[in-house]
Amino acid sequence: MSSIFGLSDAPPRGWRIVQGELVADPTVAGYLARGREIRGLCQQQDCRRTCQVDLEDLARRGLGAARIQELKPLYKCQRLGGCALAFHEKYGTELTVSVLARLKPAVLRIRCGNCRKTTRARPGAVVARLLAEGLGGHETRVEDLAGLIRGECRGCRVRRWEVAVLWGPRDGPGGPGAA
């Protein structure tokens, strides 16, 4: 549901909530909603096989709920030495920090990859800090945030960050917005 300011309680198209975390929908319908393209290219020396996964056709044929990882092996050949078809994905719609700032239940979890010490931040505050430090802005992709964090962990002094998007009520005990 949207308010007059564009805030929403629903996840973006092509994304779903799994155990309180916003994750990319791994199905054909999810890839199609995010505008992703999947192409295959064989890595064998004497093979020039290529393919493009037609997501619209798969959805039209009733495979919208099928997971992409389950369908990829069906595109491989039955070569005796094994198939070396490697898949490459091209982005469509990106999940940016500004998109998250318009989603009321979204909160960023910033966690040390070493000691697992966690902090939470509102997407709007992250945009303001990125702009202030000259590291990015509204169109910064969520998947790029961990690499933009310059400081080291206060707990273990290691610089290995992970960023995830939590989803749920902003306030209240145990909610993503809890301190």
Asked if 85 and 134 sit in the same domain, the reply is no
Is 137 inside any structural domain?
Answer: yes
Question: Which among 35, 11, 7, 8 has a CA at the least distance from the CA of 23?
Answer: 11
Residues 137-177 have pLDDT tens digits of: 888 888 899 888 888 888 888 889 999 999 976 544 444 44
- State how far the Cα of 17 lies from the Cα of 158, in Å rounded to an integer: 30
For residue 5, the model assigns a pLDDT of: 40
- State how far the Cα of 107 lies from the Cα of 44, in Å rounded to an integer: 44
Asked if 61 and 80 sit in the same domain, the reply is yes
User: Can you list the pairs that 51-57 forms with residues at least 24 positions away whose Cβ atoms lie under 8 Å?
Assistant: 51/75, 51/85, 53/87, 55/28, 55/31, 56/32
Where among 39, 67, 90 does a domain terminate? 90
Question: Which among 165, 161, 87, 86 has a CA at the least distance from the CA of 117?
Answer: 161
Question: Which among 2, 14, 179 has a CA at the least distance from the CA of 92?
Answer: 14
Asked if 80 and 106 sit in the same domain, the reply is no
Asked if 61 and 113 sit in the same domain, the reply is no
Asked if 86 and 98 sit in the same domain, the reply is no
Is 38 inside any structural domain?
Answer: yes
For residue 152, the model assigns a pLDDT of: 87
Asked if residue 30 has pLDDT above 90, the reply is: yes
> Hey, what are 59's tokens?
């959805």
Residues 91-115 have pLDDT tens digits of: 777 888 988 988 889 999 999 988 9
Is 117 inside any structural domain?
Answer: yes
For residue 169, the model assigns a pLDDT of: 64
Asked if 73 and 35 sit in the same domain, the reply is yes
- State how far the Cα of 100 lies from the Cα of 102, in Å rounded to an integer: 5
Asked if 99 and 162 sit in the same domain, the reply is yes
Number of structural domains in the chain? 2
Range of the domain at 102: 94-167
Asked if 65 and 85 sit in the same domain, the reply is yes
Asked if 99 and 66 sit in the same domain, the reply is no
Evaluate whether 37 touches 28 at the Cβ level (below 8 Å).
Answer: no
Asked if 102 and 125 sit in the same domain, the reply is yes
Asked if 103 and 160 sit in the same domain, the reply is yes
User: If you compute the radius of gyration of the chain from its CA atoms, what whole number of angstroms results?
Assistant: 20
Is 36 inside any structural domain?
Answer: yes
Q: What is the mean pLDDT of residues 3-17?
A: 73
For residue 1, the model assigns a pLDDT of: 42
Residues 35-75 have pLDDT tens digits of: 999 999 988 878 888 999 999 999 999 999 999 999 999 98
Average pLDDT of the chain is 85
Asked if residue 127 has pLDDT above 60, the reply is: yes
Where among 66, 90, 114 does a domain terminate? 90
- State how far the Cα of 36 lies from the Cα of 97, in Å rounded to an integer: 19
- What contacts 45, CB < 8 A, 6 or more positions away? none
Asked if residue 83 has pLDDT above 90, the reply is: no
Asked if 85 and 112 sit in the same domain, the reply is no
For residue 164, the model assigns a pLDDT of: 93
> What percentage of the chain has pLDDT greater than the value 70?
89
